[in-house]
């Protein structure tokens, strides 16, 4: 994406966050944009979906849009879910689920072999977890708290567990039980997991 497109998407991201009326949105946006954090220009991955500047921002917005539509669908099919799937919570948890990736990608030139068999230098990224090596979902949740954002326990849990069993420490009974308990207690957890999958595996898949 070019700079203008990134600015347009960034404005959309901030507007959605502000629509929740939460305290601390400005501080969070500032944190995502300064120092070693490059949330608004980072890719979503190196070799998979949205592996270019602004990819992480687009993935976050796609997850939010998928989450809001899944929320409508779930409530239409089961109206008693409405108080447990608040619009603001869906926005906060989906937009922030992957903010942990804001400081791990760094522009780099790599050699790639083309279809014609010739090696060429192409713009890519290196991955380095050393800035704040806290993990994935748990790092996103901590970053939101660290910025001082007003955020609920269920939103933190939905962010923490958005990878479901793909992010379980090997053989950890406690982590497995915590994941299951979070999903049983808060339907928001399942909704964010689904929205992330819809975005990454259906909308962004080539
Ligand atoms: Fe993720
Ligand atoms: Fe994601």
For the stretch 119-175, pLDDT in tens is 999 988 999 999 999 999 999 999 999 999 999 999 999 999 999 888 887 778 999
pLDDT of residue 186: 98
Ligand 2 centre to CA of 174 (Å) is 24
Ligand 2 centre to CA of 18 (Å) is 21
Residue 49: nearest ligand to its CA?
A: 2
Task: Please give the Cα distance from 108 to 124 (Å, whole number).
Answer: 5
Task: Please give the Cα distance from 56 to 44 (Å, whole number).
Answer: 4
Of the candidates 101, 182, 106, 177, the one whose C-alpha atom is nearest the C-alpha of residue 135 is 101
Ligand 2 centre to CA of 130 (Å) is 20
Ligand 2 centre to CA of 204 (Å) is 11
Residue 135: nearest ligand to its CA?
A: 1
Over residues 104-133, the mean pLDDT reads 92
Ligand 1 centre to CA of 44 (Å) is 9
Task: Please give the Cα distance from 80 to 89 (Å, whole number).
Answer: 16
Bridge partners of 11? none
How many CB atoms are located within 10 Å of the residue 80 CB?
A: 7
Contact 67, 195 (CB under 8 A): yes
Ligand 2 centre to CA of 121 (Å) is 29
Contact 119, 112 (CB under 8 A): yes
pLDDT higher than threshold 90 for residue 95: yes
Ligand 1 centre to CA of 188 (Å) is 15
Bridge partners of 123? 109
Task: Please give the Cα distance from 206 to 202 (Å, whole number).
Answer: 9
Ligand 2 centre to CA of 69 (Å) is 16
Contact 45, 98 (CB under 8 A): no
What percent of the chain has pLDDT above 70?
A: 100
Residue 100: nearest ligand to its CA?
A: 1
pLDDT higher than threshold 80 for residue 49: no
Residue 64: nearest ligand to its CA?
A: 2
pLDDT of residue 35: 83
């Amino acid at each position: 994406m070019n700079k203008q497109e990134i600015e347009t998407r960034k404005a959309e991201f901030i507007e959605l966050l502000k629509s929740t009326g939460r305290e601390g949105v400005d501080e969070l946006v500032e944190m995502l944009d300064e120092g070693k954090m490059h949330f608004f220009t980072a890719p979503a991955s190196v070799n998979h979906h949205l592996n270019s500047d602004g990819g992480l921002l687009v993935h976050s917005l796609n997850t939010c849009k998928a989450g809001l539509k899944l929320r409508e669908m779930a409530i239409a099919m089961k109206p008693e879910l409405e108080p447990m799937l608040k619009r603001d919570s869906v926005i906060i948890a989906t937009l922030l689920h992957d903010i942990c990736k804001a400081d791990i990608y760094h522009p780099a030139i790599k050699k790639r072999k083309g279809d014609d068999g010739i090696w060429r230098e192409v713009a890519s990224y290196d991955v380095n977890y050393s800035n704040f090596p806290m993990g994935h979902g748990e790092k996103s949740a901590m970053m939101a708290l660290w910025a001082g954002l007003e955020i609920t326990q269920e939103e933190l849990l939905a962010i923490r567990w958005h990878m479901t069993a793909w992010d379980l420490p090997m053989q950890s009974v406690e982590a497995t039980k915590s994941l299951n308990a979070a999903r049983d207690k808060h339907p928001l957890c399942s909704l964010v997991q689904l929205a992330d999958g819809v975005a990454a595996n259906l909308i962004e898949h080539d």
